Amino acid sequence: MNFSSKIIEWYKLNKRDLPWRKTKNPYKIWISEIILQQTQINQGLPYYNKFIIEFPNIFLLARSDEKKILKLWQGLGYYSRARNLHFTAKYIATQLKGVFPKEYDNILKLKGVGEYTAAAIASFAFNKAHAVLDGNVFRVLSRYFNINTPINTSSGKKEFYLLSNKLLDTNEPGTYNQAIMDFGSLQCKPRNPNCKACVLNIDCQSYNSNNQLKLPVKIKPKKKKKIYIDYFYIKNNYFLFLNKRLNQDIWKNLYDFPNIININKPTKVEITKSITEEYGDNFKIIKTSKIYIHNLTHKKIFARFWEIKFENLLNENLKKIEKINFNDLINYPIPRLIDKFLNDEKLIN
């Protein structure tokens, strides 16, 4: 029995019971794959269920307000995925009459869809022979064949791409792709892989050379850039002031507080000066929060929240900020960082 056959046989005995595996509907498979980009299954599953209940078909997703989609997405991070999801839904609903493209090359053209996602949708929904290549697959192949080429280099990606497509079971491409990903997640784990009970251990080159824990090889990324964000938390008895972010960044169209961003931690004197320059001097700093640390792919954010009380809430610059009733906060999409703070302040459930 060859590598692919062993993987598929293992999968039939050990596969996880997941809702998107019980359908060939490309819409539902697409939703699952976009959610699972940068997200583990146990975290993504509740979001998938919420999306399918709220938007059971692509037309309902296309017609939805982006604010509602972002709110459903809240907590998953990488919000461009949600915006791209909405954009693509509208494109398919209007330009393609709701018919999801079947061919890999056409799926790849959809906004927010990369090579892995296109291969997954093409194979799972349409049984097209395109191999998936994600972290689990990299790990299984690098260990089985004892490959030391770094997986996050162009040469490494090319080498593994050719190998993965060579190994693909063209009769059952969808099943094979699901199998090798589950195998990497459940059996050939990053740490503590169960090598002694592995169906591949006889021919696994890294196991037989006791090298499996050193693979896959990955070049270390550059050190994350530190960013300091100081938020101005302004409220009265009924309202909270929130900004809608319009910048082209990861939190576009989410809501947060007015803020200043620095590469070095500012002093209280500098914070006071910034508030004065923006809103005048008729305010008082009530308190400052603890420092909240929030990790992004290339940045590490250190955030503080300054509760500010204004003598006059009719300040011209304050009028530009949206006043939101505390009871309505639950309907506004906010970054996870803001959500943590509001939960700590017991202002949102």
The CA distance from 235 to 210, in Å, is 60
| Residues 6+ positions from 75 with CB-CB distance below 8 Å | 47, 336, 339
Q: How far is CA 222 from CA 118, 198, 249, in A?
A: 29, 35, 20
Closest Cα to residue 122, out of 134, 111, 114, 130? 130
Q: What are the pLDDT digits (tens) for 270-281?
A: 888 888 887 777
Structure tokens at 313: 């809430």
The CA distance from 29 to 26, in Å, is 5
Strands 299-310 and 225-234: parallel
* 230: enclosing H helix or E strand: strand 225-234
Catalytically annotated residues: 33
What is the CB neighbour count within 10 angstroms for residue 20?
21
pLDDT at 273: 87
According to DSSP, residue 110 is labeled: S
| C-beta separation of 28 from 82 below 8 A | no
Percentage of the chain modeled with pLDDT above 70: 96
- Arithmetic mean of pLDDT, 191-213: 93
Closest Cα to residue 287, out of 308, 312, 256? 308
The CA distance from 246 to 254, in Å, is 8
pTM higher than 0.85: no
Over the chain, what is the mean pLDDT?
A: 90
pLDDT at 313: 63
Q: What are the pLDDT digits (tens) for 103-117?
A: 999 999 999 999 999
pLDDT at 292: 94
Indicate the SS3 state at residue 316: coil
According to DSSP, residue 187 is labeled: I
For the chain, the 3-state helix, strand and coil shares in percent, each to the nearest 5, are 50, 15, 40
| C-beta separation of 61 from 85 below 8 A | yes
Band of pLDDT at residue 317, cut at 50, 70 and 90? low
Q: Which range (19-28, 46-55, 70-79, 120-129) has the least confidence?
A: 70-79
The CA distance from 134 to 152, in Å, is 11
| Residues 6+ positions from 340 with CB-CB distance below 8 Å | 292
| Residues 6+ positions from 12 with CB-CB distance below 8 Å | none
Closest Cα to residue 349, out of 331, 333, 330? 330
Closest Cα to residue 11, out of 140, 104, 143? 140
pLDDT at 137: 97
**C-alpha triplet 175, 176, 181: angle, nearest 5°:** 100
pLDDT at 314: 61
